[in-house]
Structure 1
C-alpha cells in the first residue's frame, strides 16, 4: 500500500488536537492553573479520535483486503499488527506505571490488582466504571487502542474466512441495534455496541469507494473541503456547548472524517500533492508516539510549572505554559519516534529475503517489489 502524504499529515494534526484538548483541561484543573478559559478553545479535540478510527478502517482494509479468506496469511497479519501497537505502547506504559508506584502523590492513579495490570498491558477492554474512569487506568488514552485491537481481531476473522467475519459483523450489528433501540447492554457486550464500531465501518466503506472503478471522482478536493468545513462546524458547535447527543456528534465527526479521507486519497491518486510539507510528514510519522506520550508528559510539566511558580503569573503564566508544554510534547514525541520507535520498527521491516539455490538475485529483487506492492 502506498503512503498517502495527506493522510500522514492529517494523522499528525489530529494527534495534535488531542494534545491541545488534554493540555487545556490540565491548565483548567483546580490543582494546576485553575483557569477555565483554557479548556474551551480545543474542547472539540477529544473527538479527533473519531478521525483515527475511520482512518484505521480505511488503512487496514486497503492494506490487507487481498488476504481475506487466506488463513495462511493470518500469522503474518497478526505479527504486523502486534509489532505496530504493543512494543511501543509497553515502552511508554512501563516507566509511567513504575513512576506512579514510586511517587506517593501518584500512587492512587495506578492499579495494584495484577489482573487489572495484565489487562492494561494486553489492551483487553475493561469497564470504565471500575478501571480508572476510562477503561485504561495507567495511560488514559489507551481505551482507543482497545478498540483498535478488537477491530484487528475482527479483520483477523475475515482473513481466516470471509463468512466468519461477516457473521461477526452481523453479531456486532445486532448488539449495536439492541443497545440503541431495545435496551442498554452491560459490559462487555456494551463495549462492542458503541458508535465507535461504526467509524471503522465508515473507513472500510471509504476504502471500497476509493478502490472502485465504478465510482468516478471529478473534483476530489471538493470532498476534502466539504469534510473539513463540516468538521470545523461541528467543532464550533461543541465549543459553544452543543445540544447534540454524544452519539450524534461521534457519527457526524465520522462522516466528516470519511469525506476528508476520501477527498485527500483521490486527490493524491490523481497526482495532486496535498499537505506534503516535510514537517507535517514528520509530525504524522510521530503521531503514535505523540498520542501515547503526551498525557503523562503534560502531567509532569504541570507539576514543574507549579514548582517554578509559573501559576502565580495567572493567565500570562498559563499561556506561557500552554505554548511551552505543547512544543515540548511535540519535540519529545518526534525525538522518541526517531530514536526509539522508528529504529525498533525498522528491525522487523528490514529483514532481507534469503537467496535460495534456485533463485537469482534478480528473482529476489522481483519478489521484494511484489512484497512492497502487496503491503
Structure 2
C-alpha cells in the first residue's frame, strides 16, 4: 500500500463493507422461515431456533443497522462523486438519472417478475404468500415504477412482492432529492444538510422508511464533508490514526455492551430516578431509541470515516474477493428474498419439515447458492444491461468512472 493524501478514485473498503452488510441482512431475514404459516411472527428472535444464534445473535437482532449503512454509504459517495458535477452542470439530469435508474432497475425488475410467479405458487401450495402481503396489480404497478415506498402503498410494511426492495424505492426518491439539492448548489451548505438530517429524524416518526433514508443519506453527506476537511489538514496520517482509534474505541463499547449490558443496566437505574412512575417497558424503549440513535449517528459514520481516511493515507488494500463481493452486494440484497420463497416452496412440495432451517448446513447451502448466483447476475446481467441501455438512452455518453456500487 502506498501513502496517498489525495481522494482515491475508488473506495475498496467501503465497497467491501457493503457486501458484508448485505449478507447480514440475509442472515436477519432467516427468521422468516420460523414465522407461523410463513406469515405471522409469534415469538421473539431470541426464542426462534435460528442456526448459530449464540454466535451470531448480534447480527440477527440488529441487522436493520446494515440498511442504514447502505444509505449512509450512498450519501458519502454521492456527495463525493456527483454533487459538484451536478452543481457545475457538468452532469445533466438526464445523464444522472439514466445512470442511476439503469443501476437499480435491471435486478429490481427480474426479482419482481420472479416473485409474481413464486408468490402465486406459494399461495397455491400453502394457501398464503411468503411473508409479504399485497401482491396485487396495484402494488405490482408501484413496484414496476419503483415508487412502492413513497406512501402510495396500502401499508408501509406490506408494499408487495420483494419486501427488501423498499430501500431501493427510497433510494430512488433520495436520488431525486439529492439532485435538487446539488442543482441548487446547496451541497456545501452544512446548515441545509443538518436540516435534512433533522427533518429525516422527524419524518421517521410518521413514515419510517423515507425518514430513515433521508436521515442516513444526508448524514453520509456530512461525513464526506468532514472527511474532505480532515484530509486537507497537516499531519493527515496522525489524524487518521486518531479517527481510527476513536472508531475502534466506540466499537469496543458497542461489543462489550452487547455482551454484558452494563450501559443498559446503569441506564435503567438512571431512568428510574429521573423518570419516576414510568414503566420498565417505557424505560427499555427509551434506552433502545437512544442506543439506535447513537449507533446510526456515531458508530456507522465513524466506521465509514476511518475506513475512508485509512484508504486515503495508507493506500487501497485491494483484495479481489472482497471487491467481487462488494460489486455483487446489490444483487445479493434483492435476490435473497425470492430465493427464500423458492426454498420455502421446495421444502413444502417435498414435504420436508421446516425444522430443516434450524441447521447451519441449510444456512450454508443457501448462501452457497445465493452468492455465486448474485455474482453471476452482476457480471453477466447487470453490467451488460447497463451498458446496453446507457448507450441507447444517452445520445452522447459521458464517461463516468465506476466508483462504488451504490444501492
Alignment of 1:132-281 (within 5 A): 134-162=157-185, 172=196, 175-176=199-200, 185=206, 192=210, 194-212=211-229, 214-215=232-233, 217-219=236-238, 220=240, 223-224=243-244, 226-227=246-247, 230=250, 234=254, 243=284, 244-246=287-289, 248-274=291-317, 276-281=318-323
Worse-superposed segment, 119-128 or 10-19: 119-128
How far off its partner does 1:49 sit? 0.7
Greater relative contact order: 1 or 2 (C-alpha under 8 angstroms, separation 6 or more)?
2
Alignment of 1:39-118 (within 5 A): 40=53, 41=57, 42-43=59-60, 44-71=62-89, 73-103=92-122, 104=124, 105=126, 108=129, 109=132, 111=134, 113-118=136-141
Query: 1:364 matched to which residue of 2?
Result: none
Could you tell me the TM-score, scaled by structure 1's length? 0.77
2:21 pairs with one of 14, 21, 30: 14
- Aligned equivalents of 1:344, 1:224: Cα separation in 2: 39
Unaligned runs of 5+ in 2: 1-7, 265-283
How far off its partner does 1:202 sit? 1.7
Structure-2 change in CA distance of 1:313 and 1:117 (3 Å): closer
Retained in 1: the 8 A contact 2:12–2:323?
yes
After superposition, give the CA deviation of every residue in 1:278-332 in whole Å (9 maximum; x if it has no partner).
Answer: 11111111000000000121232234345556548768x6222122112222122
- The answer to whether structure 1 residue 300 and structure 2 residue 300 are counterparts is no
Worse-superposed segment, 290-299 or 62-71: 62-71
Structure-2 change in CA distance of 1:277 and 1:46 (3 Å): same
Retained in 1: the 8 A contact 2:136–2:160?
no
Could you tell me the TM-score, scaled by structure 2's length? 0.71
SS in structure 1 at match of 2:362:
helix
Retained in 2: the 8 A contact 1:92–1:293?
yes
Retained in 1: the 8 A contact 2:102–2:390?
no
Computed over aligned residues only, the root mean square deviation of the Cα atoms, in angstroms, reads 4.0
Retained in 1: the 8 A contact 2:76–2:224?
yes
- The answer to whether structure 1 residue 319 and structure 2 residue 360 are counterparts is yes
How far off its partner does 1:126 sit? 4.2
How far off its partner does 1:18 sit? 0.6
How far off its partner does 1:343 sit? 2.1
SS in structure 1 at match of 2:344:
helix
Aligned length: 350
Query: 2:34 matched to which residue of 1?
Result: 28
Retained in 1: the 8 A contact 2:174–2:213?
no
Worse-superposed segment, 208-217 or 228-237: 228-237
Retained in 2: the 8 A contact 1:293–1:333?
yes
